[in-house]
Amino acid sequence: MISHFRCLLGSTAQASLSAGSLLLCLGMLYAEATPVLESARQIPVAADVDIVIAGGSTAAVSAAVEAKRSGANVYLVAARPYVGEDLCATQRLWLEEGEVPRSDLAKRIYGSGRATTPLRVKSEMDRALLQAEIPYLTGCYATEMLVDETGDAAGIVMVNRSGRQAIRAKVVIDATRHAVIARQGAATFRKFVPGKRPVRFIVVGGKKPTGGLRGRMLNVTFNSHLVHECTISVSLPDGSYASLARAEQAVRTKTFAKGMVDMSETLLFMPSSTLVGRTRQEAPWPGAAACDLASFTPKRVDRLYVLSAQADIEQSAAEKMLRPLEFMALGQRIGRAAAEEAKKLDKLGRWSLPVPTVGWARPEPRCAKTSKVSGPRTWVRSVSRRGSCQSWAPMMLWSSEGERLALRPVLRRRDRAPGRSSSNTWTSWAVSGQPA
């Protein structure tokens, strides 16, 4: 597939083809493909635990270790092939003046210095989980949230090379970068605000990037190389992965400098489409020990924590929260809170995949009936009339996040329209609960 794209793009474009632009090309190629409707099937259960954590940040590992220390059974799932992504993927490997490691994990990561290395971060994260005897998987994507009969969090569904499996849990901690698990349920998120947004990007080695970029040279070095923290304004018309891929490619192009040896894997920016929590944490950031944990829990879903910049926190406060030592301390506190909450719960009852909250049905083609739907037990009815619209594909539903959802036919009947001699064929469709 990659060689095929190189042939299509030509030699000039090959040099600038990155993983983000390749992903964008693939998305454009298959954007118009007809969706495949997934039939009902059973998902094997990989584990029953007290707490499942989706995400591999240092805060996620700190939460896992602290929850286990508090007596909870914990399982951690990380999408990248390593844990510690918030430091390694962003290259934010240094401590600012006045930041002093206090937890055992932070001391092992930084030692007596002010900067660490990706290899040291990854190895210490692994060691912390192994010493605590916490099972964890890397290269494993948490894709959906399980809910109980009341709609509260009850586990996750994950995807890896072995297929799909479920992990049932009393409490779920969503430590993914974009809060992908929390967005699957009934949690409410703010509307994305399009426009220019400042992002930060680290360049290691080489000359200071130019071209109107704001930035600073850090007073630390990575393997004897100078480190530049660049701040760039990028345009994000929406919150889609395609827009993020375009922005990342633009940033890489602007920050490239002769002699550079490394750079960030991902952009660092404060999202606008954050969780609507039980409370909102305004600036200034009060510290991990004093912040209100209700800012990390959604209003309408119990037993769920959002441990990332997607929590209900004002942006300048979120920047302080994401500093390495603060983020790890916050993870510890949420881990303790989740363990205490799990102790109060009995064994989970019935659980299933939720149906995402959806917006307006978009008819395909013109004669489909439009229905406004929401909630887990909504039925969508479409009509196929005689004449030019006699045969057509079922209408498509779009979630509030812009994902097209799959529908499956559950009832088909004929009825006679009032005052008409001909009859119409009605089909009821149920939302499958997954993007098509």
pLDDT given for residue 35 in this prediction: 75
94 pLDDT band, cuts 50/70/90, is very high
376 pLDDT band, cuts 50/70/90, is very low
pLDDT given for residue 117 in this prediction: 93
SS (H, E, C) 301-334: CCCEEECCCCCCECHHHHHHHCCHHHHHHHHHHH
Structure tokens at 1: 């597939």
Instruction: Report the range out of 4-13, 54-63, 379-388 with the highest average pLDDT.
Output: 54-63
Q: By 3-state DSSP, what share of the chain in percent is helix, strand and coil, each rounded to 5?
A: 25, 30, 45
**How does DSSP assign 206-234, residue by residue?**
SSPP-SS-EEEEEEEEETTEEEEEEEEEE
Q: Answer yes or no: is pLDDT of 210 > 90.
A: no
User: How far does Cα 264 stand from its chain's mean position?
Assistant: 18
**Domain boundaries of the chain, sorted by first residue:** 1-33, 45-190+274-351, 192-267, 358-435
pLDDT given for residue 207 in this prediction: 79
pLDDT given for residue 254 in this prediction: 87
Condensed to tens digits (0 to 9), the pLDDT of residues 333-344 reads: 999 999 999 999
Neighbours of 87 (CB within 10 A): 23
Phi, psi of 289 (to 5 degrees): -75, -25
pLDDT given for residue 9 in this prediction: 35
222 or 413, which is more confident: 222
Answer yes or no: are the C-beta atoms of 189 and 201 closer than 8 Å.
no
pLDDT given for residue 96 in this prediction: 93
Query: Which residues on neighbouring strands pair with residue 142, listed in sequence order?
Result: 158
pLDDT given for residue 295 in this prediction: 97
pLDDT given for residue 213 in this prediction: 74
Condensed to tens digits (0 to 9), the pLDDT of residues 213-254 reads: 788 888 888 888 889 999 999 999 998 889 999 999 999 988
pLDDT given for residue 265 in this prediction: 92
% of the chain residues with pLDDT over 90: 56
Condensed to tens digits (0 to 9), the pLDDT of residues 98-155 reads: 999 999 999 999 998 899 999 999 999 999 999 999 999 999 999 999 998 888 899 9
Give pTM, 2 decimals: 0.74
pLDDT given for residue 386 in this prediction: 36
151 or 383, which is more confident: 151
% of the chain residues with pLDDT over 70: 71
Lowest mean pLDDT segment, chosen from 28-37, 55-64, 306-315: 28-37
Task: Identify the CA nearest to 156 among candidates 175, 191, 181, 131.
Answer: 181
Q: Answer yes or no: is pLDDT of 185 > 70.
A: yes
pLDDT given for residue 337 in this prediction: 97
Q: Answer yes or no: is pLDDT of 395 > 80.
A: no
Q: Give domain 45-190+274-351's CATH number out of 3.40.50.720, 3.40.50.10860, 3.50.50.60, 3.40.630.20.
A: 3.50.50.60
Answer yes or no: are the C-beta atoms of 144 and 155 closer than 8 Å.
no
pLDDT given for residue 33 in this prediction: 64
Q: What is the DSSP letter of 394?
A: P
428 or 184, which is more confident: 184
pLDDT given for residue 382 in this prediction: 37
Residues 6+ apart with CB under 8 A from 418: none
Task: Identify the CA nearest to 276 among candidates 157, 216, 357.
Answer: 357
pLDDT given for residue 119 in this prediction: 95
Q: What is the mean pLDDT of the chain?
A: 78
